[in-house]
Amino acid sequence: MKVMVPQCIEDTFAGITASGDLVIDTGTGLVALTPCCQAVVTFVDYSLCCKGCYREVSLEYADDPHIHTPRAQLTVEIEP
């Protein structure tokens, strides 16, 4: 399976979730990136939001993600 990955996360990209979200390894844990901006999440006024566009996202992004397909099983292409 081929997956496009932004250059800024190339070194930390760990795989994808079952729903296709990119997962990075921060060194202290795994983080699923938001589908809208491929960004981490933050809390804003009691809501969990994408840190790129501040749209509200599901609380599942606050939990440790489960890697469905690890990087080693993917063909990784870097976005220009």
Q: What is the pLDDT of residues 22-71, one digit of tens each?
A: 999 999 999 999 999 999 999 999 999 999 999 999 999 999 999 999 99
Compute the average pLDDT of residues 14-28: 96
Q: Which domain, by its residues, includes 62?
A: 2-71
Q: Confirm whether 41 is domain-assigned.
A: yes
Q: Is the pTM of this model over 0.85?
A: yes
Is 77 contained in some domain?
no
pLDDT at residue 4 is higher than 90 = yes
Q: What is the pLDDT of residue 55?
A: 97
37 in helix, strand or coil? coil
Query: What separation in angstroms does the CA of 12 have from each of 30, 35, 45, 59?
Result: 10, 17, 29, 23
In a domain, 31, yes or no: yes
Tell me what the mean pLDDT of segment 4-18 comes to.
96
Per-residue pLDDT at 80 exceeds 90: no
The domain total for the chain is: 1
Write the burial class of residue 23 (CB in 10 Å: 0-12 exposed, 13-18 middle, 19+ buried).
buried
